[in-house]
Chain A
Amino acid sequence: QQQVKQSPQSLIVQKGGISIINCAYENTAFDYFPWYQQFPGKGPALLIAIRPDVSEKKEGRFTISFNKSAKQFSLHIMDSQPGDSATYFCAASTYAGNNRKLIWGLGTSLAVNP
């Protein structure tokens, strides 16, 4: 009930291509889904987040697609650049009740080849 399953574990994309990372969850009480980006030797930073009342959110080249019935959400990086090479984490949380923590995916290491 508390897991967030992220795939793929690693991804190699050519410059200009589309990077797609997927996450699936089980707990239907989750109602906030952020994506974090982490560069080597640094802490993660919030990239983009979505709530389940919308099916898609776009910020620049980054888009979250959300499928509530399938309990899945994904990150799309359009026109991928070498500077996007990082580890990406999806997460899920609920701010109701006593569950006061983010449930993190295991991460996807993205490499964008020049």
Chain B
Amino acid sequence: DGGITQSPKYLFRKEGQNVTLSCEQNLNHDAMYWYRQDPGQGLRLIYYSQIVNDFQKGDIAEGYSVSREKKESFPLTVTSAQKNPTAFYLCASSRTGRLDQPQHFGDGTRLSIL
């Protein structure tokens, strides 16, 4: 079955530590996205990539970094510079970067601070 796989489902970060969230898709989609979801705040865009080896900052990119070395993979690193990382992180993909196409989401990674 085609889809988006996010791992791990739960992740704990220590103070001063960088952590990396995995996102893999087998839908052959060009575009991929990372969102952060906090209670009552909806979805906020962190980074997006419309093509391999290219990515753009979203609304809340500070304290995060990404790479897009392969079409299937779009990992997100939460750096120690992100002072409030506790949230539900969602990865999505769409066939192209056109926003009138459905975004397909993974089941998320819940990040907490130890």
Chain A interface residues toward B at CB < 8 A: 9, 31-32, 34, 41-46, 49, 51, 89, 93-95, 100-102, 104-107
Contact = CB atoms under 8 A, between A and B. Distances in A.
B105 A45 contact: yes
A94 B99 contact: yes
Interface stretch (B12-20, B42-50, B70-78, B79-87): B42-50
B32 to A, nearest CB: 13
Nearest to A46: B102
Contacts of A51: 100
B8 interface: no
Contacts, number: 61
Main secondary structure of the interface of A (DSSP, over half): loop
Interface string B89-112: 011100001111011111110000
A73 to B, nearest CB: 15
Nearest to A100: B97
B56 interface: yes
B40 A106 contact: yes
B45 A101 contact: yes
Contact of B42 (A34, A45, A101, A105): A105
Contacts of B107: 41-43
